[in-house]
Each structure stands twice: as structure tokens, then as C-alpha cells.
């Protein structure tokens, strides 16, 4: 199995990630049929501003860059965790398989007792991966376009 190593993300890495992430998030809204392009871009920018009001320095949010543990070929992905206390203990929400395994390890070391995530309905590959890794569906949001 492939393994990764996680290194804390630098502010410059975060700034580059943020631009790409907002664009990808907007594309997901558009591609899923949930929103037209202009509204998708506006929604993505608004959601990121709400979730990360202080950007890289937003309390409770941690960012890592993932690297192939066997090589020096550069970054292979990133990990963003939001840590929050719940009645069960500290939980994390975050994002391939190797990164998820590394995320689970990081969470255990931080005392996190559960991990939640969001996946768009059209992203069947991610859904299958998460199910294989033991994640369970806790809710479903559905819509129908009336053209």
C-alpha cells in the first residue's frame, strides 16, 4: 500500500491551495447541476469566507501537505482538518486512501474520536473510497432540476 507523510502547510502553500480549492468547489456545484456558473463561484467564495474567516489562521483548522513517503516527487495532495469538541470528544472533519489513512493517524494522535466529511453526489469515486474505508452515510441531500 502507498503511504504518505504529512508536513504542516506553509502560508504560501495555503494561499495557492485556497485559490484552486475555491475554483474546484465552484466547479463541483456547477457540475452537479446544483448552481449555474456565476452563482457557484459566488457560493464557493462565500462558503470559504464563512468557514475560514481568518484564512490560514482560522482557529481549529489545520492544514498539511501530503508527500509520497517513498520519494521526493513533490506534493501528492493536502489535508485540511477542522477540530471541534463534541459530547463524545474531539472530532475532525477533513479529505486518496493514503491521505485518509494519514489523517486518521493524525486524528488519533490528537485525541479525535470521529471523522466526518462531505462528498458531492456526482463524485461516485470518492463515495466508494470512503465506504471502503468504513465511513457510513449519515445524511443525504437531494434535489431535482425542474427544466
Rounded to whole angstroms, the Cα distance separating 63 from 44 reads 19
State yes or no: pLDDT of 79 exceeds 50: yes
Distance, in Å, from the CA atom of 73 to the CA atom of 76, rounded to the nearest integer, reads 8
Question: Is 81 a residue whose pLDDT tops 70?
Answer: yes
What's the rounded mean pLDDT across residues 79-89?
86
Confidence (pLDDT) at 49: 96
- What is the distance in angstroms between the CA of the first residue and the CA of the last residue of the chain? 46
3-state SS, residue 31: helix
Average pLDDT over residues 109-137: 86
Amino acid at each position: 500500500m502507498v503511504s504518505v507523510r504529512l508536513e504542516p502547510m506553509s502560508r504560501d502553500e495555503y494561499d495557492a491551495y485556497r485559490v484552486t480549492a475555491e475554483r474546484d468547489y465552484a466547479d463541483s456545484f456547477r457540475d452537479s447541476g446544483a448552481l449555474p456558473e456565476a452563482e457557484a463561484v459566488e457560493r464557493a467564495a462565500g462558503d470559504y469566507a464563512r468557514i475560514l474567516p481568518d484564512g490560514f489562521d482560522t482557529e481549529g483548522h489545520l492544514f498539511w501537505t501530503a508527500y509520497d513517503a517513498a520519494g521526493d516527487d513533490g506534493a501528492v495532495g493536502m489535508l485540511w482538518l477542522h477540530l471541534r469538541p463534541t459530547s463524545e470528544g474531539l472530532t475532525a472533519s477533513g479529505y486518496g486512501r493514503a491521505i485518509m489513512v494519514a489523517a486518521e493517524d493524525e486524528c488519533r494522535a490528537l485525541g479525535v474520536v470521529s471523522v466526518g466529511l462531505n462528498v458531492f453526489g456526482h463524485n461516485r469515486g470518492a463515495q466508494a473510497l470512503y465506504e471502503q474505508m468504513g465511513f457510513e452515510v449519515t445524511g443525504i441531500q437531494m434535489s431535482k432540476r425542474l427544466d
